[in-house]
């Protein structure tokens, strides 16, 4: 099948795509725009923690594969440019016990590590990676290892470091660190006391949700893969609500309406269906879950090559900050407000969710930060990004699982999560608000 899009580093402005003739049966090859997508590297780093899956027993290196949050202490005198957390991936190496750690700074500079199942350790040896930098900053660089000399309270170079692998798959390099550079000459980065924690995929079980009817789902995000005349408008999508009223789930939205003609699921039933999950517990800060495939499959294979199906993992910055970076929604609200940025939100008056500040990952990199370029600088970097978004009009009667009509003439009453009434709730406190016949949760501002 012809390759119809790319996740390469260059971008073309989507609007410049040559229009294809309108036809009744959409051809994905014809409909797909020449626009490419690019990693949004200038966006500040984020952190997130989806609900944890039950820990699996760690018996081999294969059990450690996946995406991680790596917390660390910065070891150089300059300001840490990575914010205290990295998001590397563990991939299989050349042997059964070898792991390739990808996604560390200088993304093409991988780290080779070795897992010992009997000792439950992960070992990183001093290893040469090549020539980095240019001009005066050029170094014959290696990943270097150091350990703390407890007696003298200082770092000392060593040939390797070992991290302890926990039964839950966490990895702790306490009192050890790695540096990228040349010993006693110069360093690009230094990460001490590294602690790795696996980031699980989000799983949806609709048995835990109540069907509300059909929502009107308008995608202004992944539609930018396609020429404008082929981009679907709002489509009806089955909409579910969790029993506690906190989370809205759209069931396989990219197989609804006109999207089905553009989706690889139509031709290949083996491809997994997808979901969109949005937490609206705090209506002023709607959270689009990362690490959840939306089920919009495209073929990324070159022409003449076997199909290579790719799904997409949309998220918003607010959801990333809460789930990966361990923020709470009050902190997110304050951080956005401080710089005048508009938040994703659930408007209870219009029954509409608007998701802003979006990026997306893909099958090979679910936490990737991809987007579409609206305009480029002369040097090829992105000057302005297309602002991608979702708009979801919820069905009539939405929320009937746990609320009834509002009565605006009744003063609100506040309760804590234990059900005890609170007379004067404090700012930042999550409370239950009862007003007339309507009950909801909110964070006091």
Residue 52 has pLDDT above 80, yes or no: no
| Integer Cα distance of 422 and 15 in angstroms | 54
Query: Which tokens belong to 145?
Result: 């290892």
| Integer Cα distance of 257 and 127 in angstroms | 53
| Integer Cα distance of 129 and 112 in angstroms | 10
Query: Which tokens belong to 269?
Result: 């039933």
Residue 60 has pLDDT above 50, yes or no: yes
pLDDT score for 401: 47
pLDDT score for 104: 87
Residue 402 has pLDDT above 60, yes or no: no
Contact at 8 Å (CB) between 386 and 373?
Answer: yes
Q: What mean pLDDT comes out for the span 116-125?
A: 97
Q: What mean pLDDT comes out for the span 256-268?
A: 95
Q: What mean pLDDT comes out for the span 323-329?
A: 90
Residue 432 has pLDDT above 80, yes or no: no
Residue 85 has pLDDT above 60, yes or no: yes
Q: Which of 44-48, 309-313, 322-326 has the highest mean pLDDT?
A: 309-313
pLDDT score for 379: 84
Q: What mean pLDDT comes out for the span 242-247?
A: 92
Residue 150 has pLDDT above 80, yes or no: yes
Residue 2 has pLDDT above 50, yes or no: no
Is residue 54 very low, low, confident or very high in pLDDT (cuts 50, 70, 90)? very low
Average pLDDT, the chain: 83
Contact at 8 Å (CB) between 152 and 136?
Answer: no
Is residue 136 very low, low, confident or very high in pLDDT (cuts 50, 70, 90)? confident
Reported pTM: 0.71
Residue 270 has pLDDT above 60, yes or no: yes
Contact at 8 Å (CB) between 271 and 265?
Answer: yes
Q: Which residue has the higher pLDDT, 398 or 441?
A: 398
Is residue 72 very low, low, confident or very high in pLDDT (cuts 50, 70, 90)? very high
> Residue 156 — φ and ψ, nearest 5°?
-130, 145
Q: What is the per-residue pLDDT across 383-401, written as a single tens digit (0 to 9) for each?
A: 999 999 999 999 998 875 4
Is residue 235 very low, low, confident or very high in pLDDT (cuts 50, 70, 90)? very high
Q: What angle do CA 220, 372, 107 make, to 5 degrees?
A: 135
pLDDT score for 165: 97
Q: What angle do CA 216, 220, 226 make, to 5 degrees?
A: 115
Domain locations along the chain? 61-198, 206-393, 413-443
Is residue 16 very low, low, confident or very high in pLDDT (cuts 50, 70, 90)? very low
Residue 252 has pLDDT above 70, yes or no: yes
How far does Cα 438 stand from its chain's mean position?
Answer: 33
| Integer Cα distance of 171 and 74 in angstroms | 18
- Could you say which DSSP state residue 79 is in? P
Contact at 8 Å (CB) between 170 and 64?
Answer: no
Is residue 333 very low, low, confident or very high in pLDDT (cuts 50, 70, 90)? very high
Q: What is the per-residue pLDDT across 155-177, written as a single tens digit (0 to 9) for each?
A: 999 999 999 999 989 999 999 99
Say what percent of the chain tops pLDDT 70.
Answer: 83
Is residue 132 very low, low, confident or very high in pLDDT (cuts 50, 70, 90)? confident
| Integer Cα distance of 253 and 276 in angstroms | 8
């Amino acid at each position: 099948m012809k390759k119809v899009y790319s996740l390469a580093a260059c971008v073309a402005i989507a609007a410049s795509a040559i229009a294809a003739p309108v036809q009744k049966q959409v051809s994905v090859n014809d409909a797909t725009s020449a626009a490419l997508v690019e990693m949004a590297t200038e966006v500040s780093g984020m952190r997130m923690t989806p609900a944890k899956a039950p820990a699996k027993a760690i018996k081999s290196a294969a059990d450690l594969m996946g995406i991680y949050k790596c917390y660390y202490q910065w070891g150089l005198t300059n300001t840490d440019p990575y914010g205290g957390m990295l998001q590397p991936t563990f991939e299989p190496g050349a042997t059964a016990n070898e792991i390739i750690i990808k996604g560390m700074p200088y993304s093409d500079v991988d780290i080779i590590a070795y897992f010992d199942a009997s000792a439950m350790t992960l070992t990183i040896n001093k290893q040469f990676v090549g020539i980095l930098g240019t001009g005066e900053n050029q170094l014959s660089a290696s990943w270097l290892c150091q350990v703390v000399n407890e007696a003298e309270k200082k770092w000392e170079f060593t040939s390797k470091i070992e991290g302890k692998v926990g039964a839950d798959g966490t990895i702790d390099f306490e009192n050890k660190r790695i540096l990228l550079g040349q010993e006693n000459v110069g360093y690009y980065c230094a990460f001490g006391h590294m602690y790795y924690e696996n980031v699980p995929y989000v799983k949806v079980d609709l048995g835990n949700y109540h069907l509300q009817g059909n929502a009107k789902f308008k995608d202004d995000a992944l539609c930018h893969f396609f020429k404008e005349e082929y981009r679907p408008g709002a489509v009806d999508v089955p909409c579910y609500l969790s029993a506690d009223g906190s989370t809205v789930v759209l069931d396989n939205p990219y197989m609804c309406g006109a999207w089905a003609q553009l989706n690889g699921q139509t031709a290949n039933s083996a491809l997994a269906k997808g979901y969109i999950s949005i937490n609206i517990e705090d209506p002023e800060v709607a959270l689009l879950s990362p690490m959840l495939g939306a089920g919009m499959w495209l073929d990324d294979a070159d022409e003449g090559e076997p199909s290579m199906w790719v799904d997409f993992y949309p998220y918003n910055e607010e959801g990333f900050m809460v789930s990966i970076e361990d923020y709470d929604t009050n902190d997110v609200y304050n951080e956005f407000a401080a710089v005048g940025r508009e938040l994703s939100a659930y408007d209870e008056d219009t029954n509409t969710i608007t998701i802003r500040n979006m990026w997306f990952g893909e099958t090979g990199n679910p936490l990737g930060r991809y987007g579409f370029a609206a305009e480029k600088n002369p040097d090829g970097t992105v000057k302005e990004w297309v602002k991608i978004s979702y708009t979801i009009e919820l069905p009539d009667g939405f929320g009937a699982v746990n609320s009834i009509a509002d009565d605006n003439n009744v003063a609100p009453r506040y309760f804590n999560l234990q059900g005890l009434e609170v007379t004067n709730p404090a700012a930042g406190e999550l409370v239950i608000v009862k007003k007339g016949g309507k009950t909801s949760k909110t964070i006091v501002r």
